[in-house]
Every structure is written in structure tokens, then in C-alpha cells.
Amino acid sequence: MANIFADSHDESPITVIKQTMSVSLSDDGVAMVSFATNRGKGSGAQTMPVAQFADYVSALEAIVESGIPEEESRTYTAAEMVQRTISQTDGVISFRVRDGKGSKPAKIPADMLSETVELLRGTVEAVTSAGSQLDK
């Protein structure tokens, strides 16, 4: 038997982040934070060094306050990638934290961006602390 709604995409980013956020060490021994904002085909985890997480959240806060900036040419940290790749189509904001093969965008309904960023801001201290524990 197949579940007709098995790939439903109506879970809020808040729910998905809460279910998927984790902090771990990379193969190189770098503390990394990983979380998804949505599920389904074409989606994937947002993974970045813990050291970049606070700036990433700050970049999203700036977008909540000022809107999506014009495309820029130079960017490589997670925060800079958000600024470079963010776009809005059909009421959904999408952005990436890295380029390259396998990188998937976060997708957040525009009307949930502020609440989603507020949740992420609330996790910065815990993520930083967890990353510090792994670095020891």
C-alpha cells in the first residue's frame, strides 16, 4: 500500500528545522551545524561550519528587515551565499549556503521567513556551545 500524502510539502520550516537541526564534527574535525527547512524532492540539509552560523542568521535577519538584495558577485561564507543566492518565486524564498554539486536550497514560504529566522536566532547560542564542546 502506498501513502498518497507521503511526500507532502506542507510542513512548516519551523517544524522541519526543529526535527532536523544537529551539530557534529566534520571529517576534518570542524564543528558543523546542519538542518533542513523543508522536505521532498529538490530539498536538502543546510550544512555550514558552526563558526559561520551566527553570521548566516544575521544575514537572514537583514533580509527580513530590508528585503532581498540585488545579486552580488563576490561571496563564499554561508552568510554571503545566502545573500548571493536568495530569490523569491511564487511566495517561496529559496537560498543556498554553498555552491557545487549536491548543494540544495532551503525553501521557506515568504510569510514564514521572519518566524523561521527568529527560531534560528534562538538556536545560535546552543549551536555555538555544542560546536565548542565538539572542538575540545
Question: What's the whole-model pTM score?
Answer: 0.61
Give a yes or no: residue 7 inside a domain.
no
Give a yes or no: residue 6 inside a domain.
no
Total domain count, the chain: 1
How far apart, in whole angstroms, are the C-alpha atoms of residue 94 and residue 92? 6
Is residue 34 a contact partner of residue 104, using CB atoms and an 8 Å limit?
no
Give a yes or no: residue 66 inside a domain.
yes
Amino acid at 13: P
pLDDT values of the chain reduced to their tens digit, one per residue, 136 residues: 555 555 555 689 999 999 999 999 999 999 999 999 988 877 788 999 999 999 999 999 998 998 886 655 444 688 888 888 899 999 999 998 887 777 888 999 999 999 999 999 999 999 999 999 986 6
How far apart, in whole angstroms, are the C-alpha atoms of residue 6 and residue 94? 23
Give a yes or no: residue 17 inside a domain.
yes
Give a yes or no: residue 78 inside a domain.
yes
Give a yes or no: residue 122 inside a domain.
yes
Domain that holds residue 22: 13-135
Of 72, 47, 51, residue with least CA distance to 62? 72
How far apart, in whole angstroms, are the C-alpha atoms of residue 27 and residue 18? 24
